[in-house]
């Protein structure tokens, strides 16, 4: 089914939208099946799990860390991670920069914006994001690159609310894109949309969707 699910989704999204296959909690065999069907970008939310899967699978996979980050674990993925979605602190950027430098790499990052109304979701306010993008200290971080923003909408069926959350982030993204063009911040990626809401997210400007259960089936644990 994984192959069929993937091709259904790939065929239904515009070419400029990147599909991240969210494989958290799923066994390596499932990822291999998706890989055999042509999928090369996978998203995980736990660093140790991602490292184990990286070790077990072909090396042309691009690994995206989509979960909330613990700074002390960044070092375990710094040699291979392709994009980190959930950066919501300046201190985390500094730690990513430090670890990337050890491997002579530049690691791409997305700043996570808080767009959901729920209290539990992580993320920065638009003001905080602007502050980071404009900070003088950012220029010194030569081993990271801010390539866009990530957002998670409220868990709700209320389409109007979802639409409002997605479009507010898209408007902010478009405005910042015009203002920010520095060596280590070039905004081009807007990561929003999951299994339940990716179509709406794409209508509202998403360029990268993170889809798990619609590809791999429901998860038993999180």
| Chain contacts with ligand PLP (rule: CB under 6 A) | 22, 24, 45, 66-67, 152, 194-196, 210-214
Residue (51 or 110) nearer to ligand PLP, CB: 110
Alpha helix (H) residue ranges in the chain: 2-12, 28-36, 47-56, 90-102, 126-134, 159-179, 198-203, 213-216
Residue (18 or 195) nearer to ligand PLP, CB: 195
Residue (141 or 198) nearer to ligand PLP, CB: 198
Residue (108 or 143) nearer to ligand PLP, CB: 108
Residue (71 or 213) nearer to ligand PLP, CB: 213
Q: What is the smallest separation between the CB atom of 43 and ligand PLP, expressed in angstroms?
A: 7
Residue with nearest beta carbon to ligand PLP: 212
Q: What is the smallest separation between the CB atom of 179 and ligand PLP, expressed in angstroms?
A: 27
Q: What is the smallest separation between the CB atom of 177 and ligand PLP, expressed in angstroms?
A: 22
Burial of 193 (0-12, 13-18, 19+ CB in 10 A): buried
Task: For the chain, give the number of residues.
Answer: 222
d(CA 20, CA 180): 25
Q: What is the smallest separation between the CB atom of 133 and ligand PLP, expressed in angstroms?
A: 22
Q: What is the DSSP letter of 185?
A: E
Residues 6+ apart with CB under 8 A from 125: 113, 114
Asked if residues 28 and 53 have their Cβ atoms less than 8 Å apart, the reply is yes
Q: What is the smallest separation between the CB atom of 210 and ligand PLP, expressed in angstroms?
A: 4
Residues 6+ apart with CB under 8 A from 154: 115, 116, 117, 118, 121, 161, 162, 165
d(CA 47, CA 64): 10
Residue (196 or 205) nearer to ligand PLP, CB: 196
Q: What is the smallest separation between the CB atom of 45 and ligand PLP, expressed in angstroms?
A: 5
């Amino acid at each position: 089914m994984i192959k069929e699910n993937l091709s259904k989704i790939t065929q239904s999204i515009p070419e400029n939208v990147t599909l991240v296959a969210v494989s958290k909690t799923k066994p390596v065999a499932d990822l291999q099946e998706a890989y055999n069907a042509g999928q090369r970008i996978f998203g995980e939310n736990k660093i140790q799990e991602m490292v184990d899967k990286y070790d077990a699978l072909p090396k042309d996979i691009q690994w995206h860390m989509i979960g909330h980050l613990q700074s002390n674990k960044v070092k375990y993925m710094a040699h291979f991670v392709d994009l980190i979605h959930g950066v919501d602190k300046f201190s985390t950027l500094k730690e990513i920069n430090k670890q990337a430098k050890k491997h002579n790499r530049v690691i791409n990052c997305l700043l996570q914006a808080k767009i959901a109304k729920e209290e539990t979701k992580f993320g920065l306010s638009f003001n905080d994001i602007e502050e980071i993008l404009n900070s003088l200290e950012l220029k010194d971080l030569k081993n990271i690159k801010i390539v866009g923003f990530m957002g998670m909408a409220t868990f709700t069926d209320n389409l109007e609310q979802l639409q409002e959350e997605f479009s507010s982030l898209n408007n902010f993204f478009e405005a910042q894109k015009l203002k920010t063009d520095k060596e280590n911040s070039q905004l081009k990626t807007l990561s929003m949309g999951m299994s339940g809401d990716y179509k709406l997210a794409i209508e509202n400007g998403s360029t990268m969707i993170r889809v798990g259960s619609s590809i791999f089936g429901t998860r038993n644990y999180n």
